[in-house]
Structure 1
Amino acid sequence: MDSNQSNDSIEDIFDSSLNLEETHFKEGYDEGYNHGLNTGKEEARQVGLKTGFETGEELGFYKGCVDVWNSVIRVDPNRLSARVQKGIKQMEELIEKYPAIDPEDESVQEIMEALRLKFRVLRAALGMKLDYNGYPKPKDIEF
């Protein structure tokens, strides 16, 4: 073995020792990044499921109200004023217009806000004390 080869191997040993901290830092960063990426995807999925469920639940509540009000109109067409009947029809159209299949549609928030507003107007016009408060928490349910 000549002296150039032994000097190169000694330098390689020192280089790897000097770069040890940088190597470990990069490995740790890469592992943390990959773990965070996977964890973030799962957390985003869970948040998406929860938000989707809550939105569907609220839409179902409004649809149920519209169905009941339409039943009242079928049984007694003169029971509700023309203005209230028009509001019910508008609310029904908003529910049908909601883009359930395309969650990235930009009109989602606008439609939900319009539904909430229309519900409040109808509730006031009918003199009802009905609110959508979301799904009841287990501690709020009594048997």
Structure 2
Amino acid sequence: MDFDLEELVNVEQTFYDSGYADGRTHGRIHGLIEGRALGREKGFEIGEELGFYEGAARIWESVYIGQGKEGHRAVTHARALLTLLSTFPSTNPHEEDGIDISALLRQVRSRYKALCASVGVRPSLRAGELVDGEENIEGNGGQGDAKKRSVWKVDATPGAETGLSF
């Protein structure tokens, strides 16, 4: 009977190392699965937000151009926002590309806020929800029929210089 007493002394460490290696490979597999799911979810959220910004920019650009106000400040902001949105990557960029998604997203949000300020609306991604302080007709905190209101709350009434007719 040949056996090594040294193995008996380190039996606890041997089982620990074996369990650690198994746990690491198992964790790596589940980490990849969860990472992909989270990436898909966050990618959808960013895409939805960017689509909202693009739609708002296109609408305000067409409203002002339709009224013959090609050189209006809102048209300039809308075009700058659309240009910035066109530079946003639609695929997962590599680190060596040097694209900072969060910085680009901050720039897009800033351009959107500038566009909203130039047309006199409150910037909001949640366009269909009630604005803070507003309640529905019954005042029961969202239960029942909500009062009808426009999608964008107009902060300043348009003066004679805007000439909006919608």
Gaps of 5+ in 2: 130-141, 146-166
CA drift at 1:77 = 1.9
Gaps of 5+ in 1: 1-5
* Pairing 1:128–2:121 present: yes
Aligned partners of 1:54 and 1:134 also within 8 Å? no
Of the two, which has the highest radius of gyration?
Answer: 1
Aligned partners of 1:58 and 1:134 also within 8 Å? no
C-alpha distance in 1 between matches for 2:4 and 2:87 = 69
Alignment of 1:1-143 (within 5 A): 9=2, 12=3, 14-78=5-69, 82-104=72-94, 105=97, 106-133=99-126
CA drift at 1:29 = 0.8
CA drift at 1:108 = 2.2
- Name which structure has the greater RCO, CA cutoff 8 Å, separation 6+: 1
C-alpha distance in 2 between matches for 1:123 and 1:135 = 16
Higher helix share: 1
Query: For residue 139 of structure 2, what is the aligned residue in structure 1?
Result: none
CA drift at 1:62 = 0.5
Q: Summarize deviations over 1:79-112 as a string: whole Å, max 9, x none.
A: x762221111101100111111243452322221
TM-score by length of 1: 0.76
C-alpha distance in 1 between matches for 2:18 and 2:42 = 36
Q: Percent identity?
A: 27
C-alpha distance in 1 between matches for 2:9 and 2:100 = 57
RMSD: 2.7
Q: How many residues align?
A: 130
Aligned partners of 1:61 and 1:132 also within 8 Å? yes
CA drift at 1:114 = 1.2
C-alpha distance in 2 between matches for 1:114 and 1:91 = 9
TM-score by length of 2: 0.67
